Amino acid sequence: MTGGARATGGCVGGRPTRREFLRLAGFGAGALVLSGCGLLSGGRGDLPALSRPAPTGRVLEYTLEAAPTNFEIAGRELSTWGYNGGVPGPEIRVKEGDTLRVRVRNRLPAGTTVHWHGLPVPNEVDGVPHVTQSPIPPGGEFVYEFAAPAIGSYIYHSHVGLQLDRGLYGPLVVEPAREELSYDREYILMLDDWLDGLPGTPEDALGELRGSGRGMMGGMMRARGIEYPNYLINGRAPEDPASLTVRRGERVRLRLMNPSAETVFRFAPAGHRMTVTHADGQAIGPVEADVLRIGMGERYDVLLDADNPGVWQLAAVPEGKRGQARAVLRYRESAEESAPPADVQPPELQGRLLSYADLRDARERSFPDGGLFSGPDRTFELTLSGGMGRYVWQIDGQRYPEAEPLPVREGEWVRVQMRNHSMMAHPMHLHGHFFQLRNGTGCGPFKDTALVEAHMGELAFDFVADNPGEWFFHCHNAYHMETGMARVISYAGGA
Ligand SMILES: [Cu+2]
């Protein structure tokens, strides 16, 4: 390598940047680069950047009113905060390229914002308080407007403090212009952990977590997470489950989403095998599984073949905690049968668990990795730590909001490598981009949230810096985020 071939900036280990490599290697537009996943075109097509759909010209308008609301679970009346009087909030559904215009009215006694979790929207409508906008004040209004940039299953939610854990979330589905999957019915299942009674509001729970050394509850919660008194699917307790009706012979699509604040769920349908088709909204090579592990902020789409009449438990067991959430799959042919008892756990929970290593991008896109001169333009090696003693969580030893931004430049191939020095798993979420998991397959799935396992778990991903702005990167455990586990990835000043 000559001196002139060395990177001028942002490059780890002095290797040429991707652009320089391609120029040196003589690749122009239309040339081919052999990658671990097949052939990819060279030139600007060499990085798997997001291709945004053509605008349809359609504008879909929604209004979300965030307000205190009374909410019933299993016959008990509770007060919480929600959108449009319910938990979850109303379903938002658009087609790719449609313009979504959402008027948010704040009737809460606190400032709020709405974040479009997983969607690479323009930075100014990303809804992160004090990063992309000021919180909408009580009594105020804000209009979010953007063209739906990618198909898939997403979650909208408040990004202020612990408001997510009160119920300020709902589903957002972006449909393709033409659906390629064949199925007869679709259901959305939103898994949630629900505080009522002890320990009270999310702020009370955080007080317990922070009350270092005082009493058993805080200590147990710090080490193992919050034992919630209820786990819900679509806002319904196990005693009063949501019922999903099917007919024998149908194929059913489930969009599984975990907007919970603090709970990783294991989801398994009794009597049926799942074919997993999408991870965080993005198509993967279809893969069969009995059990899915879904971290906070993650989504999976699955297909079930309804070939086993009956009334079946769809169970979501909170990992490391007691209890379960459930819905019921009910065949019309079995309309008279009663549902299984709320606490029955399907034997399928002991079956084949989907792992990240099973996931491959459906289009076999990949970064042109593996060559002598080919690698990311910039690498961040980050430790995840916290939870011992004081209830403080950190990324690479720094705590938000004091933490320094992580600089990138537009067009770069960025790698993030994480190592978890703590005793809890962290679902790490990147705003504004999809990243490709480095899962050993050479063409891992494109996701926006991924679990880094406890006790020295490691995880790495790559992304293309193709959406300028100030982007939040954080743990999707609401309590970890609130106590420091966040950084800003900044396109400004990357050197
Ligand atoms: Cu965390």
Kindly state whether residue 153 falls inside one of the protein's structural domains. Answer: yes
Cα 457 to middle of ligand 1, angstroms: 13
Q: Are residues 350 and 203 in the same domain?
A: yes
Q: Are residues 41 and 97 in the same domain?
A: no
Q: Are residues 311 and 202 in the same domain?
A: yes
- Identify any residues that bridge with 191 across adjacent strands, giving them in sequence order: 233
Q: Are residues 134 and 100 in the same domain?
A: yes
- Only one residue has tokens 């490391």, namely 320
Distances (CA, A) of 229 to 28, 126, 232, 324, 344: 59, 32, 10, 10, 17
Q: Are residues 399 and 301 in the same domain?
A: no
pLDDT for res 49:
79
Cα 146 to middle of ligand 1, angstroms: 29
Cα 473 to middle of ligand 1, angstroms: 12
Cα 122 to middle of ligand 1, angstroms: 26
Q: Are residues 348 and 382 in the same domain?
A: no
Q: Are residues 334 and 211 in the same domain?
A: yes
Cα 478 to middle of ligand 1, angstroms: 8
Q: Are residues 149 and 23 in the same domain?
A: no
Q: H or E segment at 203?
A: helix 202-210
Kindly state whether residue 180 falls inside one of the protein's structural domains. Answer: no
Q: Are residues 289 and 240 in the same domain?
A: yes
**For 127-155, what is each residue's pLDDT tens digit?**
999 999 999 999 999 999 999 999 999 99
Contact status, residue 468 vs residue 491, Cβ threshold 8 Å: yes
Cα 454 to middle of ligand 1, angstroms: 10
Cα 452 to middle of ligand 1, angstroms: 9
pLDDT for res 372:
62
Region class of 127: left (phi > 0), else alpha (psi between -120 and 50), else beta: left
pLDDT for res 197:
53
Kindly state whether residue 99 falls inside one of the protein's structural domains. Answer: yes
Cα 103 to middle of ligand 1, angstroms: 31
User: Positive or negative, the Cα torsion across 396, 401, 403, 407?
Assistant: positive
Kindly state whether residue 404 falls inside one of the protein's structural domains. Answer: yes
Q: Are residues 451 and 475 in the same domain?
A: yes
The tally of domains found in the chain comes to: 4
Cα 117 to middle of ligand 1, angstroms: 17
Kindly state whether residue 325 falls inside one of the protein's structural domains. Answer: yes
pLDDT for res 28:
33
pLDDT for res 208:
83
Cα 67 to middle of ligand 1, angstroms: 28
Q: What is the CATH number of the domain that holds 308?
A: 2.60.40.420
Q: Are residues 472 and 396 in the same domain?
A: yes
Cα 325 to middle of ligand 1, angstroms: 22
Q: Are residues 236 and 297 in the same domain?
A: yes
Cα 442 to middle of ligand 1, angstroms: 27
Cα 394 to middle of ligand 1, angstroms: 9
pLDDT for res 256:
98
Cα 286 to middle of ligand 1, angstroms: 29
pLDDT for res 41:
40
Cα 191 to middle of ligand 1, angstroms: 18
Kindly state whether residue 371 falls inside one of the protein's structural domains. Answer: no
Q: What single-letter amino acid sits at 358?
A: D
Kindly state whether residue 438 falls inside one of the protein's structural domains. Answer: yes
Cα 221 to middle of ligand 1, angstroms: 13
Which residue range(s) make up the domain with 409?
378-490
Pairwise CA distance, residues 385 & 459, whole Å: 14
**Final residue in a domain of this structure, among 175, 203, 238:** 175
Regions in the chain scoring below 70 on pLDDT: 1-45, 197-199, 212-220, 223, 370-373, 493-495
Kindly state whether residue 387 falls inside one of the protein's structural domains. Answer: yes
